[in-house]
Structure 1
Amino acid sequence: MTAEYSFTTRANDADDVRPFSPLTSDSPSLEFSRKYADIAALSAGDPSLLRPRLTDDARENLAGLPPQSNEVALVFGANGFVGAHLVARLSADPTITTVYAGVRGADGVSAQERFELTLLQYSISVIDRSKVQVIEAVPTRTRFGLDPDSYRFLRRSVDLVFNSASSTDYDSSYLELREDWFASLLRVVQFTLEDRRKHLTYMGSIGAFIYTSPEDFLRPDSWWYSGYCQMKWINGQLLRWLSRDGIASVTLCESPYVLGGTVVGKDPGRVYSWWRAIEVAVNVGAIWDGPGMNYAPVDVLADVLVHNATADEPMDHLVPSNPTPYDNSLLAELLGIDVVPWEQFIEVVTSKIPYRKVSSLLSSDVNDLIYRSNAPSRLPASYDTSWWNHKELFTLYLDNIDFRGAVAAPVVAPGVRVPAEVS
């Protein structure tokens, strides 16, 4: 079961005389009642403090724009796992004429080369390259790093924006992530409010669901209560206000763990908590008796996002997770390991693996956190999920992961190999 904050209007009450101002010069159309509204909202656990208002000039400008079209798409983070699949899915859509793939060049490797390497890494072959234009455009920079003319051209051309660019750094605090990933969202929202009506789809995270009580906002940072999850909570609350108040056309996709596609099965592997938990279980020969973590195959996620964004009336909130729950006994069956109570699992793990390697995983009641984050699936009503088979998908995923370099353990299942010694 998950809990959600109910919205209040305290920050925008008519008798509130506090001055409103933008939080960044790159997003002048959105004004907030506090200089650091995001930090105030996070500190108090109060999303009403993050409620923005549209300036009079921006409101007048929006009213004069023609109806939105759905022909030209822009994907930020296109060299990432989700972003590359989104570009491919958009390019295959007959209603889409152009897909701008926003990629950051790095270490002497061009944006185009990084995008091609990502396609190769995840065996993405179904893509209409004639529609795809790779551009070095990243939301963490003013004008996305483009020259003024290129930025204005993009702003006047794009109909659909997909923001899958983000940090998956669980070690950094919210303050360390703020300038890039909160400021970048404000920059993207500003882009959607100018020259042409645009629909924004933002990749949030079910990690934001663990913040359900005032006490959660007071906890010290950890793997679960991380700056990353706090950033996703902040960004999600901002987008909810934008949608609720009719300021912008947005879809908040609070994504579960994104695993490999239904045919290829390749994903980034051990960078995800889902895989790290399995890695620990493999090494100790046991997994705890508890609920399985929500997940979505990447090709399903991309299809849902495009299906929704191109609809006549897109949903403003998606949770594209498995519609039928499962528990860890299924993983135990596939891995050939035991199912034990949580307390026994902790004892076994701490006896076999140095605690420093798993302390962040074991520092909280994992079952409680999983119950919180396993929000019910929210998909477009017409979307068919009858094919979703946990056992078949997990078998495919396990055949595509290699645990070499993990903390310990022998071969335990086809495709799951780990070294025999603790590193």
Structure 2
Amino acid sequence: MHIFLRHNSDRIALSMGNPNRISLGYSEDPRTVAKRLPRRGDDEPKNVLLLGANGFVGMHMLRELLGDARVATVYALVRRKGDKSGEDRIARQLRKYKLELPDTGKLSVLEGSYLDPAMGLDSAAYEELLTEVDVVIDAAGATTHDYPYSRYREEKVLPTLRLAEFCLQKRFKTLHVIGSVGSEVYQQWRDFYRNSFFYTGYSRMKWVVKHISLRANRDGVPIHIYQAPFALGGPGTGFKDPGMEYSFWNMISHILQLGMVWDSEVTSPVVAGDVLARSVVANALSSAPRVISYPVTPVTTEEIAERFKLKLVPWATFRRELVRQHRFRPGQIDWSKPVASIRRGRQQSKFVSSLFPRSFHTLLNNIHTAASNPTTVRIDADLPSIDVMENNARRIRKLGRYLPENTPAPVAVGAGVPAPVPAPEPVAVGAL
């Protein structure tokens, strides 16, 4: 079974801003192939292949799967890195976020990569996956906005088609891909020609993956897409997440420094990592999984203003003040290194403006509209999203100086789960 993009149709779709231009080809009819493959009954425990188990979202998926009685075995595919084995890399992430896995004996860690032929495994291990796996959850992939679409195409778009082929070999398997609600910024032709932090090769890749998944599913390929938002820390991690690696927390930092936030009915997309994992696993293990899901627990700017004691102002006022405060000025020049300091200052000013482009309210509205789709099943959250957000914010040292002291105390971490000690956060920016 071979699945391929016809005539660079993904690039044509991006240039025209039209997802209907995406065209897939098949060596056989996917529906015919799917019908002849063996599959387990709805009431039988399933074997799950998890990609990206050592990532922040992936380790939540791993914990959720290991604790689910409907799962027989979890194969976690993790690349070896230097002298660190796949198990070492998972264990390191668990220690970092103070997360524990249930000791169920279901876990089988395999060292390899879905980017390699046969997933980088020996023939016996790969054959076992082909013949035993029932569900594939793809929580792997890039987490930065830094590269052009061409690179993400090779690292994510085409490999998604290879995973779809894998699911139609030896045994029928369903494929569940963690996408990004950030790809919803593309709604009109002109959106594909905007220039800011949110309109990048990364976002284009997520948009293509979404529409390839929808196209393939209509053609009979068992692929399902989850338009995930920023995954924040939940009670299981002591409300600790990647922190300032997220563009989300960089934006919150600027909002807190200004002491104001824009007044709007448009919400911001967030979800606790454990809630996201629970939503994905529930759908993946159901007898009739939804084709597309938006596992979002939105937070409003009114809630943010109330909780963090911020002034609500019109969007134009907020952006004007933000740009004014971050405008590069001659007084910022370090005359011992004038060229480098000027370049750094201008880049910082440009970056802040790019985080909050003029079209920011429009792109948030696009995401808000998609995530509020009436066909989307609402997910059950453990806590209101604003509580999750505050608990995380209070554990990010860089934000501490801007947080008010007279807000309600953060929600206590669950029994037996220690609250992490805040540590300095890196400056790199993550992705939505």
Same structural fold, with TM-score higher than 0.5 when normalized by the shorter chain? yes
- Aligned residue for 2:62? 87
Query: Which residue of the other structure, out of 263, 273, 297, is the alignment partner of 2:247?
Result: 273
- Aligned residue for 1:299? 274
Kindly state the Cα deviation for residue 53 of structure 1 after the two structures are TM-superposed. Answer: 3.5
Kindly state the Cα deviation for residue 305 of structure 1 after the two structures are TM-superposed. Answer: 1.0
Asked whether the 8 Å contact 1:411–1:418 carries over to 2, the reply is no
Query: Which residue of the other structure, out of 398, 404, 414, is the alignment partner of 1:413?
Result: 404
TM-score computed with the length of structure 2 as normaliser: 0.81
In the aligned structure 1, how far is the partner of 2:135 from the partner of 2:199? 32
Map 1:270-349 to 2 at 5 A.
270-290=244-264, 291-322=266-297, 326-349=299-322
Kindly state the Cα deviation for residue 68 of structure 1 after the two structures are TM-superposed. Answer: 3.9
Query: Residue 255 of structure 1 aligns to a residue in which SS?
Result: coil
Once the two structures are superposed, residues 71-117 of structure 1 have per-residue CA deviations (whole angstroms, 9 ceiling, x without a partner) of: 11111111001111101100001121111112122243221111001
Asked whether the 8 Å contact 2:234–2:240 carries over to 1, the reply is yes
In the aligned structure 1, how far is the partner of 2:380 from the partner of 2:123? 44
Once the two structures are superposed, residues 274-304 of structure 1 have per-residue CA deviations (whole angstroms, 9 ceiling, x without a partner) of: 2121011122222222333121111111111
- Aligned residue for 2:324? 351
Asked whether the 8 Å contact 1:140–1:183 carries over to 2, the reply is no
Once the two structures are superposed, residues 335-389 of structure 1 have per-residue CA deviations (whole angstroms, 9 ceiling, x without a partner) of: 2332222222223223333413412113332111111012235699886637552
Asked whether the 8 Å contact 2:112–2:121 carries over to 1, the reply is yes
Q: Aligned AA for 1:396?
A: N
Kindly state the Cα deviation for residue 60 of structure 1 after the two structures are TM-superposed. Answer: 5.2
Query: Which residue of the other structure, out of 234, 243, 250, is the alignment partner of 2:208?
Result: 234
- Aligned residue for 1:371? 365
Asked whether the 8 Å contact 1:266–1:400 carries over to 2, the reply is yes
Distance 1:84 1:107, change over 3 A: same
Once the two structures are superposed, residues 249-272 of structure 1 have per-residue CA deviations (whole angstroms, 9 ceiling, x without a partner) of: 122111122111245322112222
Kindly state the Cα deviation for residue 65 of structure 1 after the two structures are TM-superposed. Answer: 1.1
Q: Aligned AA for 2:403?
A: V
Query: Residue 240 of structure 1 aligns to a residue in which SS?
Result: helix
Map 1:129-148 to 2 at 5 A.
130-148=105-123
Query: Which residue of the other structure, out of 135, 144, 149, is the alignment partner of 2:124?
Result: 149
- Aligned residue for 2:418? none
Query: Residue 83 of structure 1 aligns to a residue in which SS?
Result: helix
Q: Aligned AA for 1:367?
A: H
Instruction: Let me know the Cα RMSD of the aligned residues.
Output: 2.7
Which stretch shows the higher mean deviation, 136-145 or 349-358? 349-358
- Aligned residue for 1:398? 393
Kindly state the Cα deviation for residue 154 of structure 1 after the two structures are TM-superposed. Answer: 1.3
Query: Residue 371 of structure 2 aligns to a residue in which SS?
Result: coil
Structure 2 alignment gaps of length 5 or more: 329-348, 411-421, 426-432
Query: What is the total number of aligned residue pairs between the two structures?
Result: 383
Distance 1:293 1:53, change over 3 A: same
In the aligned structure 2, how far is the partner of 1:345 from the partner of 1:217? 25
Distance 1:391 1:39, change over 3 A: closer
Asked whether the 8 Å contact 1:304–1:380 carries over to 2, the reply is no
- Aligned residue for 1:12? none
Kindly state the Cα deviation for residue 418 of structure 1 after the two structures are TM-superposed. Answer: 9.7
- Aligned residue for 1:51? 23
- Aligned residue for 1:103? 78
Q: Once the two structures are aligned, what percentage of the paired residues are identical?
A: 29
Q: Aligned AA for 1:336?
A: K
- Aligned residue for 1:205? 180
- Aligned residue for 2:12? 40
Asked whether the 8 Å contact 1:78–1:164 carries over to 2, the reply is yes
- Aligned residue for 1:11? none
Q: Using CA pairs under 8 Å that are at least 6 residues apart, name the structure with larger relative contact order, 1 or 2.
A: 2
Asked whether the 8 Å contact 1:171–1:223 carries over to 2, the reply is no
Once the two structures are superposed, residues 49-83 of structure 1 have per-residue CA deviations (whole angstroms, 9 ceiling, x without a partner) of: 32323323866543321234551111111100111
Once the two structures are superposed, residues 10-49 of structure 1 have per-residue CA deviations (whole angstroms, 9 ceiling, x without a partner) of: xxxxxxxxxxxxxxxxxx6114431x22212222222233
